[in-house]
Chain A
């Protein structure tokens, strides 16, 4: 399985990241200095490396303001090292739970069909890259109280 991460180029604003960052600060976590977001797409169906690159370039990424990285999806999350270049950060991977509908994923599957990639199965997610002097306990708190909803999300975090 492949995973693609799409982020904003240096110098471009990340409005979602900015809003998440100020919301977290409001909750009382004053140590968070920055939040960046990556839109992620996981191919659960077979596709070649060239296919993934093509999908990333032609569909997932707005090449004027965004960049992409891609990697083999690792069950334990090692792909995070390939998708996120920052160091001294927490990375939280958030996906929908199995069984919860992913309308954006369905849309992407149809859009891939237009590009010639037939019968794809894709799920979408969001990675949050959190900078600042944040302890693991604080991070868990941020996740449960704000970033994720256990009703519909599954998530895990890594320290880079």
Chain B
């Protein structure tokens, strides 16, 4: 593994893709996230947002930025809101530069909530204005179950092109209902910015939306947890299934991201 000086451009094929998993107080699904990226062929660092704010570490050194799941700040006020404000008020310039350069940003569950509330997704009218939200499940309860997702054909996300049509993954959330005005929803549909839909809507999300991307296709968020399905043995009833791959279905998402970064970033 070559070590690169800060700022030096990465040569294609020479070094490994570097992924940054950003944590805060309350992040808790980072171990499986790191593992999923490592299995997909990326080097991974986990960094506390305080270290980005204090400039101990820089986003520039990475090709993929990940906001993992958890209960950042306890979901106080609303899920992901406080983290969204940290992004807006403390590291906004670095973030927008990262996104403008075409690098990948991936938010899963709590991460998706934070980047949506910070206006990084779907950014139809421009970055920085919140256009959608993730709010309390219709039931009012936290839900832990496995769901089937349909990968929307022809969607804009740059790194999910090779995904299979369906993906079976767990959801673990209390505030997973995707909501936006009818106008925004229509734009998402028309622009191909809806990446995943639930086959059976578990939380009341409008138009069964489970994951979206921005119009460039490099910022992506989803409520379900593909990082919790990197091995066959995490499936909820693997003991009764026949002919399963050793690799879990969720891994294809991360492989797609790392392969894209390897080729294009």
A–B: direct contact at CB < 8 Å: yes
Pick the contact of A107 from B73, B133, B137 — CB < 8 Å?
B73
CB pair B81 A59 closer than 8 Å: yes
- Main secondary structure, interface of A, reads helix
Residues from 1 to 58 in A contacting B, C-beta threshold 8 Å: 12-13, 15-16, 18-19, 39, 58
CB pair B85 A111 closer than 8 Å: yes
A104 close to chain B: CB less than 8 A: yes
Q: Which A residues fall within an 8 A CB radius of B? A: 12-13, 15-16, 18-19, 39, 58-60, 62-65, 103-104, 107-108, 110-111, 114-116
Q: How far is the CA of A79 from the CA of B135 in the complex (A)?
A: 27
Given contacts A63-B130, A110-B73, 6 further A-B contacts (CB under 8 A): A12-B135, A13-B204, A15-B140, A19-B140, A103-B76, A114-B85
Q: Could you tell me the distance in whole angstroms from the C-beta of A69 to the nearest C-beta in chain B?
A: 17
Q: Which B residues fall within an 8 A CB radius of A? A: 73-74, 76-78, 81-82, 85-86, 89-90, 117, 130-133, 135-140, 179-181, 204
Q: How far is the CA of A107 from the CA of B133 in the complex (A)?
A: 21
CB pair B77 A64 closer than 8 Å: no
* Interface CB pairs A-B, < 8 A, 28: A13-B136, A13-B204, A15-B136, A16-B136, A18-B140, A19-B140, A59-B77, A59-B85, A60-B77, A62-B78, A62-B81, A62-B117, A64-B130, A64-B179, A64-B181, A65-B133, A65-B179, A103-B74, A103-B76, A104-B76, A108-B76, A108-B77, A110-B73, A110-B82, A111-B77, A111-B82, A111-B85, A116-B89
CB pair A115 B85 closer than 8 Å: yes
Knowing A15-B138, A62-B81 touch, does A114 contact B86 (C-beta < 8 A)? yes
Note all chain A residues with C-beta closer than 8 A to B204.
13
Q: Could you tell me the distance in whole angstroms from the C-beta of B223 to the nearest C-beta in chain A?
A: 16
**Top 9 A-B pairs, shortest CB-CB distance:** A15-B140, A107-B76, A64-B133, A19-B140, A15-B136, A111-B82, A104-B76, A114-B85, A62-B133
CB pair B138 A13 closer than 8 Å: yes
Most A-side CB within 10 Å, residue of B74, B89, B137, B140: B140
CB pair A15 B74 closer than 8 Å: no
Q: Could you tell me the distance in whole angstroms from the C-beta of A61 to the nearest C-beta in chain B?
A: 9
CB pair B89 A115 closer than 8 Å: yes
Residue of B nearest to A103 (CB): B74
CB pair A12 B179 closer than 8 Å: yes
Q: Could you tell me the distance in whole angstroms from the C-beta of B180 to the nearest C-beta in chain A?
A: 6
Residue of B nearest to A60 (CB): B77
Q: Could you tell me the distance in whole angstroms from the C-beta of B201 to the nearest C-beta in chain A?
A: 14
Q: Could you tell me the distance in whole angstroms from the C-beta of A20 to the nearest C-beta in chain B?
A: 9
